[in-house]
Chain A
């Protein structure tokens, strides 16, 4: 069930919504004021560990595979180190740095405008498709491309078509090739299919993806294997394994963020005039957490605190754990659902939705919980009454700025 009026769904009064907003503002302010050296030390430590893992992985593969005796264990260890490096770099470092969580440090490298991550998608496109589209229009049908990545049917409101019968297979492909799915994310496949995409912008993006993708392929599948000499095949296989490891992990974590039962979809038409408090409320209802220890949270980029991340996407990720205690208490106080559970259960629910929605609605039932109290039914606006989709970036003097960058 997608909901069209968040406040009505939660049965909160205007004053309660605003009060909740003020309490969340206070949490935000407290973190902003206490942000400092120990947080900076945290992200620097993560980056160091991530680099050690990369060096350890590359060296183990280069040297360890040369002798027949150590070849197999070196390949396994090397692939594992590399996989962990990619996971840590993509999830806890790249994703969070690109949100601007560490910009306040004024570090020349750890900054949202400079960080380029170890995956096929160019950082610039990620910052558009993820930071803007996904975080601004979270779980809003027709806006947020993270709902099924343009491939899967993830909400009952999305029209069924026989092509979705293959959904379990597409899902497995998306999971194993996740970095390439993400790479194509900002292209917005659905708009290309409908012929709505500006061909010039599409070409520009494709060139960018081509360049970045080529460099990734060269690094993992040509240069490092070549450096291993006669053992190139082992290194190539280990690198492919590391990428697969990162792909599967990132996919599972991301699908746990918005698809377990309880994370709601919206058909919100009032996005334009949403106040800060209403925006907070939509973010809380559209996201789902998972439980785990500190290591699990670090390796998932602290996205187990998806609710807190969506409330405060630009606060340092190492503070989400302490924020979550307060947010959870607020949810109890205001009787708002706080969706969480063990990782396997959250992913299990997302997978069940993927499988169920491969079939027409009539053949399956919804797993979404009932709203806190019954909400009035409300007439949904027709498509023609809804605002048109958000505009492409860069309509104004794109050429000039490219020249500026190049000069």
Chain B
């Protein structure tokens, strides 16, 4: 008798807790960020296509599908580490380099030598983030703030008037040098 009542009690308890858990699972369902979006978040969004895909999102998709994680040069080492952490895969140095201490590339932006531009609009068509303004047969120029430095506009330009210039450092972007002012007792 005791055995049966114990079983019944336990069974009822199990049912109650089970239904609570089941309800909670539905009610508080977490919309987990799909892996692709998470990877896309990590990628630098330069949209340069150097990874061999037509943009960062496709590459994120490809990584999720099992492609190598080391194909994005603009992201560099940091990005690879982050993706390795996220996907739980082995870190591999950037494709085409041996060690993981690749020199960090200076950030560049495109600059159009405006008096040489013939206004062919080819660069506009190439720019993945619409960072170039101009009209047919009129001078073109790059919106520096929007330019991701992807390089894609340089090649299509028939007159080679686009340069990739390193971004000028400002007091905002300056990274401190290591020089302390020591205060020591003099006497």
A and B physically associate:
no
Binding site for A on B (CB under 8 A): none
